[in-house]
Structure 1
Amino acid sequence: MSTRSVVVDRPGVHRLVTGPEPVPGPGEVRVRVAAAGICMSDREVHDGRRDAAYVRYPVTPGHEWAGTVDAVGEGVGRELIGRPTVAEGFRACGACDRCREGETSLCQSGYEETGFTLPGAFADHVVVPARLLHPLAEGADLRAAALLEPAAVVAAAVRAGRPEPGERIAVVGAGTLGLLAVQLLAASSPAELTVIDPRARRGERAREFGASGAGTPEEAEELHGRFDLVVETAGAPATAASSCLLARRGGRVVLTGMFGPGATGIDPVRLSLGQLTVRSVFGAPSAAWSYAVRAFTTGLLDPAPLITHEFPLERFGEAVALVGGGDPGTGKVLLRP
């Protein structure tokens, strides 16, 4: 049997490759991919804008995915075959100090991640260690489950932010991460849940997902010092600094956006006088994945409405061009092998 995969040979150059089906090794499983999401990180890999320390060419991208186990390697129970699943992307060692503390996204053994340094899910099949699986309920919507990777990142941010009932909460950015954050934060019964995004259409979507209000960055200037918790999801040059301005004295700020060169610095005077607690999230530890999967399984989290476009593997070039293209009508773009 043969299998297809998208290979990015070098920045700007990709091809669809056909070869033999991969064989899972000891402790591994092979998953038949049902759907894989394309995010800005994948666009950066394709365009050559991702930090060289976090990508290895040639590579098959695809770190947001869901599928069904169809083969297992030595030492893995055959009862997993036929099970719908997602899996963590970071290949944490499980033995270092950070892993033993449960912070698997801070593994000290070096960076390896599915879809960036190891073959990902823009393919018919993906092979991953069985220990990284998060099996789903029978009959799970695998199309929606492909978004559980960004949902796990958001879950890490929500856990770090420790929302309490009755608090005022702001979410900066109404992209995939921001709208997923709205769903999870709404479950904490906030007194106010406001989304800040320059795109009015995205603000309307945020209300549909559970936000109590939405506004532009210009309108948000009147809200400085208002919020107990601010979850930043945009990664725009000014959003880290502006998120700190939105927080009240003694408030909490969680940064989830991926910032590039030119990002505006956070004012240290504001940090010290405001006694702010600021932390960042990069990826998601195992506990956050479990949180996201539970929220999905119980219906608290529904990523499906975020999906706006679906393409076969053969149209990867067209699909990746949509991501980050600026069209406010473009939500999550999926590849459907």
Structure 2
Amino acid sequence: MTDPAPDVPATMRAQRFHRDTRTFAVEDVPVPVPGPGQALVRVAFCGICHSDLSLLDGTFPSARVPEVVTQGHEASGTVAALGPGVGGWAVGDRVVPAAGRPCRRCEHCRRGDFPHCDDLQLMAFAYDGAWAEFTVADAAGLTRVPDDVPLEQAALLADAVATPFGAVAHTAGVRVGEAVGVWGVGGVGTHLVQLARLVGAVPVIAVDLDEEVRARALAVGADFAFDSRDPQLREKIAAATGGHLLDVAFDAVGIRATFEHSLAMLTPGGRVVGVGLSGQEVSLGSTLAFNLSRKQVLGHLGYRNEDIGVLVRLLATGRLDLSRSVSGIVSLEDVGEGIRRLQEHEGHPVRLLVQP
């Protein structure tokens, strides 16, 4: 390991999740030492994501989680030390670490196709995350953050923005002029709206239960915002699209109602992309109706590491504005309060950050 920054201590504070009791607490633990190809990152900010909450409520299959793990996977910070064999980085560099690492054992990894790893290791689930003062990351998964990009906004990129980017740019392949709808305009949905507009979707239609959330969707770029309970929703979407309905619908909630509702609003040949996650089952209706409509159903998860670099450039050039996305900052000791606010939708947060 290269010489660490002079102020790296021997121990650190970390918010640790205990699998057997499904509880979490701030504990003093040793500062990790980066191994070959790794970097130690001093955490500046780390997001609180709904997938972090899934460990607490049992949605995530915890059998794959260590007995004790540090949560948090949307991080930004500075390099504090480098492991053996790491080049191109220096102590003090501003970075975003990727929220996962390839297994390096499967068929895809053996031939260097890391984006299609069969057993991707998720940060904060398979290994320690960044609700801590320091975290270890693969140097190959780091993205450089220029000085003019706030680290608060950079922290959002590792999932809250990169996952919607992957859904828009890769899974859906949204094309200029296509009509796009977004069901559920929370943390992920807000960024789906912004990114769909950025790539040229017209119109971009937000669908949500809450009036305040719909107003925020309009403020960040939606052309229309409709109440999902409106019995005239189909007619309103048809009017907004000149009778065409939607080419692409993103379900950012992931429950049966939003998935089937968004599927029903597609034009023939349109595609629905599932981004939100839940344990609920969905129906496509009869195979006769589904096949005749030529609709497509696409599942989406995550992003490519290079997507974070694209998003950093969009932020740095002012093409993407995330100033409204940081809804609050809490300390490590107050993570529980942040979780409560997210669970209860207090203030309708886009993303709450932890500052160690």
Same fold at TM > 0.5:
yes
Normalising to structure 2: TM-score of the pair?
0.87
Q: Which runs of no fewer than 5 residues in structure 1 stay unpaired?
A: none
Length-normalised TM-score, structure 1: 0.92
Q: Does 1:263 align with 2:281?
A: yes
For residues 51-74 of structure 1, give each alpha carbon's deviation from its aligned partner in whole angstroms, at most 9, with x where no partner exists.
Answer: 235533311000111111111011
- 1:105 Cα shift? 5.1
Structure-2 change in CA distance of 1:44 and 1:306 (3 Å) = same
State the Cα deviation string for residues 273-306 of structure 1 (Å, max 9, x = none): 2101221111222343343333333322222312
Please report how far the alpha carbon of residue 128 of structure 1 lies from its aligned counterpart in structure 2 after TM superposition.
Answer: 0.8
Q: 1:101 to 1:77 in 2, by over 3 A?
A: closer
CA distance in 2, matches of 1:146, 1:221: 37
Q: How much does 1:104 deviate?
A: 4.2
Q: Secondary structure at the match of 1:264?
A: coil
Aligned equivalent of 1:305, options 300, 320, 324: 324
**Cα distance in 2, alignment partners of residues 102 and 150 from structure 1:** 26
1:123 aligns with 2:132: yes
**Residue 177 of structure 2 is aligned to residue 166 of structure 1:** yes
Residue 94 of structure 1 and its aligned partner are, at CA, apart by 5.5
2:333 is equivalent to residue 314 of structure 1:
yes
Q: Cα RMSD (Å) of the superposition?
A: 2.2
SS at match of 1:229: strand
Contact 1:152–1:291 (CA under 8 A) maintained in structure 2: no
Aligned to 1:89: 99
Contact 2:177-2:200 at 8 Å conserved across structures: yes
Partner of 1:295: 314
Residue 150, structure 1, aligned to residue 160, structure 2: yes
CA distance in 1, matches of 2:320, 2:64: 29
Query: Could you say if the C-alpha distance between residues 89 and 176 of structure 1 is closer, same or farther in structure 2, counting changes exceeding 3 Å?
Result: same
Residues of 1 paired with 2:178 and 2:124: CA distance? 37
Percent of residue pairs bearing the same amino acid type: 30
1:46-195 alignment, distance < 5 Å:
46-77=56-87, 79-93=89-103, 96-98=106-108, 104=114, 106-108=116-118, 110-148=119-157, 149-159=159-169, 160-195=171-206
Describe the superposition over 1:151-195 as per-residue Cα deviations: whole angstroms up to 9, x where unpaired: 111111011212222221111110111111111111123331100
Q: Report deviation, 1:268.
A: 4.5
Name the structure 2 match of 1:208.
219
Task: Say which SS state the counterpart of residue 323 (structure 1) adopts.
Answer: helix
Is the partner of 1:184 in helix, strand or coil?
Answer: helix
User: How is 1:30-41 mapped onto 2 (pairs within 5 angstroms)?
Assistant: 30-41=40-51
Query: 1:4 touches 1:124 (CA, 8 Å); kept in 2?
Result: yes
- Greater CA radius of gyration, 1 or 2? 2
d(CA) in 2 for partners of 1:226, 1:54: 41
- Which residue in the other structure is 2:34 paired with? 24
Q: In 2, distance between residues paired with 1:180 and 1:97?
A: 33
How many corresponding residue pairs? 335
The one-character-per-residue Cα deviations of 1:254-278 (angstroms, maximum 9, x if unpaired) are 1111121x33323253431210122
C-alpha separation between the residues in 2 aligned to 1:291 and 1:127? Answer: 23
Match of 2:263 in 1: 244
Alpha-carbon distance in structure 2 between the residues aligned to 1:60 and 1:46: 13
SS in 2 for 1:305: coil
CA distance 1:289–1:100, change in 2 (3 Å):
farther
Q: Distance in 1 between matches of 2:262 and 2:347?
A: 22
